[in-house]
Amino acid sequence: MSKTATIPDQGALKRIGAQVRKRLEADPQAYKVPTDKAEIFAIGDFFSAEECQRLIGMIDAVARPSELHETAYVAKFRTSYSGNFDPHDPFVKMISRRIDDLLGMSPAQGERIQGQRYLPGQEFKPHNDWFYTDQEYWQIERKRGGQRCWTAMAFLNTVEEGGHTHFVEVGASIEPKPGVLLVWNNATPEGEPNEGTLHAGTPVIKGSKYVLTKWYRARKHD
């Protein structure tokens, strides 16, 4: 068997990578982080101050300790509180659509938007958002949309100290600024999971940190 045949969803990851890259590179609002290790873009003022406030309130309503509803795999890395937004809520739908439109992604490929709140001492240790296809959980994920292609993550507030998003391999540490949306390709241009996307939510030292995350799949996600 050839090497490429063993990488799940490689063709789709390569195609989606190229489409989204083209769209973002043509978008004057999207700033590309200068690195050749990963495709990371930042969009300032993607959400208004009012939208950020409303989203923060929604996170406070849904956030629970991660380990209550997540796999042990994720719980090991994350000490923040998290929860999924109601996908039928009209405000959530509007927010979701805006992110879909920015990337040109089909809503069918998006996972539910997840909110997270970090208090002092809480963090998300270095991890990749793409799935490890040699792990048991992959047998479930491959049947419900497959590999993750792009991640969209928004900062909703200013953190007094700490709580950066640190791309470890790239060497970029991004300070939370309310309304800023970060988007990155979890795959390489060749459609392979990109080790260069390794990232962490560094510990909050002072204050609190609120973010939302939307992950997209290579195929339709149910």
Ligand X SMILES: O=C(O)CCC(=O)C(=O)O
Residues 6+ apart with CB under 8 A from 9: 146, 147, 191, 218, 219
Locus of tokens 């791309």: 167
**Residue closest to ligand X when measured from CB atoms:** 201
d(CA 180, CA 185) in angstroms, rounded, equals 17
d(CA 149, CA 192) in angstroms, rounded, equals 10
Residue 2 or 138 having the CB closest to ligand X: 138
Q: How far is the CB of 139 from ligand X (least distance, A)?
A: 22
Closest CA to 179 of 202, 197, 153: 153
What does 9 bind: Fe ion, ligand X, none (CB cut-off 5 to 8 Å by kind)?
Answer: none
**Residue closest to Fe ion when measured from CB atoms:** 129
Q: How far is the CB of 171 from ligand X (least distance, A)?
A: 16
What does 157 bind: ligand X, Fe ion, none (CB cut-off 5 to 8 Å by kind)?
Answer: none
Whether the Cβ atoms of residue 161 and residue 209 lie closer than 8 Å to each other? no
* Sign of the torsion angle spanned by Cα atoms 54, 60, 61, 62: positive
Q: How far is the CB of 26 from ligand X (least distance, A)?
A: 26
Residue 46 or 184 having the CB closest to Fe ion: 184
Assess 129 for contact with Fe ion (CB under 5 A).
yes
Residue 90 or 197 having the CB closest to ligand X: 197
Task: Please give the residue ranges that form the binding site for Fe ion (CB under 5 A).
Answer: 129
